């Protein structure tokens, strides 16, 4: 392996036996944007916390910038910039003071720190408000400041944990532009976690889909979508008590049928040419189609393909189980 991040059999078990990350292996090439895509609770944040030396590794090995995360965490910290999921700036300090403090903690001389801070604040269009306290910033401004605070020491690798979670679409798009720019113009390697499909799709050179602690599939988003070999037609039938899976599989050009609740997801090469035959076949059985929709392959469909459930279903299921887990954890934390 020769990537800037190399991970082999990475496993995290929280006592007594909660396996949150289960034997994960991947490689991130220099200058790549690599996204770990999955629902909440998939193990993405724990993975990023292990790679950034915040959590210990239970089993397996990880190298960041050629340094062993377990054996040489200090060297790893010098190479990386970390943007956590929550905004963790000091609200009572001014924008520029947050940056200069980060520079100081990276042992950057004051004159260089001031020059870099000015450049970075201009880059994210915060130069006009640099002398305002962060408490007066909007959510988007805070995110932008948080992003450049992780860049003040010119890291080789930037770790972003859900960089746009909770932001409106305009702000999110703006953050995406900065991330793309940092990767394009500075050659920065970026490791990102996200549960936004379009974020992973738009920004990443490589996406790894993670669910229930393990990576199900990885590769360039375009390759992953192409691997689905076709479009997806979703249809639901009135009086859908009867299971039509086998019947729909027999319809010409349909390569796969998955039943999800009352709807059927059909995979076929070109939905436009196959749709009339499908409608005719269904009608010939005396059934009426209630609703149809079709889509070109997306990462959500890749997720469905490899996990057997959609991102939304996975998200809801994990949110539900996490709520229970949080209640238990909260009780033990406050003891």
Partner 1 sequence: MISESLALGKRSLTKWTRNPFAVIATSLQALFWLALFGNSFNPANAFSSTPGGSLGPLQQAFNGAPNYITFLTPGVIGIVALVGMSFMGVDLVLDRTSGYIDVLKAFPIPRTSIYFGGVIQNVAKGMVAAPIAFLLAIFVPNGLRFAQGFGFLNLLGILATVLLLTTVFSMFFTGMAISIKSTDSFFAAINFLTFPIMFTSTAFFPLSFFPDWLKPVAQANPISLASDAMRLLLVNGNLPAAQVSVFIWDWVWLLVYGAFFTVLGVMMARSALKAR
What is the closest distance, in whole angstroms, from the C-beta atom of residue 82 to partner 1 in the complex? 4
Separation of alpha carbons 50 and 213, rounded Å = 13
What is the closest distance, in whole angstroms, from the C-beta atom of residue 226 to partner 1 in the complex? 37
Among 80, 113, 124, 210, binds partner 1 (CB under 8 A): 80
Separation of alpha carbons 66 and 108, rounded Å = 23
Among 59, 86, 168, 272, binds partner 1 (CB under 8 A): 86
* 331 is a contact residue toward partner 1 (CB under 8 A): no
Instruction: Kindly list the strands in the beta sheet with 80-83, ordered across the sheet, starting from the edge strand earlier in the chain.
Output: 80-83, 157-161, 189-194, 33-37, 206-211, 214-219
What is the closest distance, in whole angstroms, from the C-beta atom of residue 54 to partner 1 in the complex? 6
Rg over alpha carbons for the chain, rounded to the nearest Å, is 23
* Total count of residues recorded for the chain: 335
* 73 is a contact residue toward partner 1 (CB under 8 A): yes
What is the closest distance, in whole angstroms, from the C-beta atom of residue 232 to partner 1 in the complex? 39
* 136 is a contact residue toward partner 1 (CB under 8 A): no
Within 13 Å of residue 226, how many CA atoms lie on the same side as its CB? Answer: 5
* 84 is a contact residue toward partner 1 (CB under 8 A): yes
State which residue, 112 or 283, has the beta carbon closest to partner 1. Answer: 112
State which residue, 103 or 126, has the beta carbon closest to partner 1. Answer: 103
Among 18, 105, 112, 283, binds partner 1 (CB under 8 A): 105
Number of residues located near partner 1, criterion CB under 8 A = 28
* CA-to-CA separations, 236 to 21, 274, 311, in angstroms, rounded: 37, 16, 20
Among 44, 77, 116, 174, binds partner 1 (CB under 8 A): 77
Q: Which residues contact 175 (CB under 8 A, 6 or more apart)?
A: 140, 143, 144, 147, 163, 164, 167
Q: Which residue has the tokens 């062993």?
A: 68
* 110 is a contact residue toward partner 1 (CB under 8 A): no
State which residue, 37 or 152, has the beta carbon closest to partner 1. Answer: 152
Among 42, 82, 120, 299, binds partner 1 (CB under 8 A): 82
Q: What angle do CA 214, 77, 47 make, to 5 degrees?
A: 10
- 293 by Cβ neighbours in 10 Å (0-12 / 13-18 / 19+) ranks as exposed
What is the closest distance, in whole angstroms, from the C-beta atom of residue 8 to partner 1 in the complex? 19
User: 157 by DSSP, 3-state: which?
Assistant: strand
Q: Which stretch binds partner 1 (CB under 8 A): 78-86, 170-178, 204-212, 252-260?
A: 78-86
State which residue, 92 or 185, has the beta carbon closest to partner 1. Answer: 92
Pairing of strands 289-295, 256-260: unpaired
Contact set for partner 1, span 148-207 (CB under 8 A): none
- Sign of the CA dihedral 198, 11, 55, 3? negative
- 39 by Cβ neighbours in 10 Å (0-12 / 13-18 / 19+) ranks as buried
* 55 is a contact residue toward partner 1 (CB under 8 A): yes
* 132 is a contact residue toward partner 1 (CB under 8 A): no
What is the closest distance, in whole angstroms, from the C-beta atom of residue 63 to partner 1 in the complex? 17
State which residue, 5 or 268, has the beta carbon closest to partner 1. Answer: 5
Q: Which residues contact 152 (CB under 8 A, 6 or more apart)?
A: 99, 102, 103, 106, 108, 113, 116, 117, 120
Q: Which two tokens stand for residue 56?
A: 């210990």
Among 9, 71, 104, 272, binds partner 1 (CB under 8 A): 104
Q: Which residues of the chain form contacts with partner 1 (CB under 8 A)?
A: 14, 52-56, 73-74, 77-78, 80, 82, 84, 86, 88, 90, 92-93, 97, 101-102, 104-107, 133, 333-334
């Amino acid at each position: 392996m020769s990537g800037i991040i190399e991970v082999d059999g990475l496993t995290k078990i929280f006592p007594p036996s909660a396996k949150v990350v289960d034997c994960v292996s991947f490689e991130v090439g220099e200058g790549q944007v690599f996204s770990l895509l999955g629902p909440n609770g998939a193990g993405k944040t724990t993975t990023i916390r292990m790679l950034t030396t915040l959590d210990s590794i239970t089993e397996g090995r990880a190298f960041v910038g050629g340094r062993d995360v377990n054996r040489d965490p200090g060297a790893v910290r010098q190479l990386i910039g970390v943007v956590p999921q929550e905004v963790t700036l000091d609200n009572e300090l001014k924008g520029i003071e947050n940056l200069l403090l980060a520079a100081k903690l990276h042992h950057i001389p004051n004159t260089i720190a001031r020059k870099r801070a000015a450049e970075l604040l201009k880059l994210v269009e915060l130069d006009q408000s640099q002398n305002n306290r962060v408490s007066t910033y909007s959510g988007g401004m805070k995110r932008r400041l948080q992003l450049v605070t992780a860049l003040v020491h010119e890291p080789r690798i930037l770790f972003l944990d859900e960089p746009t979670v909770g932001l409106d679409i305009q702000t999110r798009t703006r953050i995406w532009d900065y991330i793309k720019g940092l990767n394009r113009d500075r050659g920065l390697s970026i490791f990102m976690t996200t549960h936004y499909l379009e974020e992973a799709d738009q920004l990443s050179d490589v996406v790894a889909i993670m669910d229930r602690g393990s990576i199900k599939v990885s590769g360039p988003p375009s390759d992953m979508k192409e691997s689905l070999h076709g479009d997806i037609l979703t249809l639901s039938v009135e009086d859908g008590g009867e299971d039509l899976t086998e019947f729909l599989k027999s319809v010409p050009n349909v390569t796969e049928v998955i039943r999800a609740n009352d709807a059927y997801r059909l995979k076929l090469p070109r939905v436009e040419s196959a749709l009339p035959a499908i409608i005719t076949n269904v009608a010939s059985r005396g059934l009426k189609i209630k609703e149809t929709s079709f889509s070109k392959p997306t990462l959500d469909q890749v997720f469905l393909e490899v996990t057997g459930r959609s991102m939304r279903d996975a998200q809801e299921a994990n949110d539900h189980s996490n709520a229970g887990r949080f209640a238990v954890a909260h009780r033990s934390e406050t003891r």
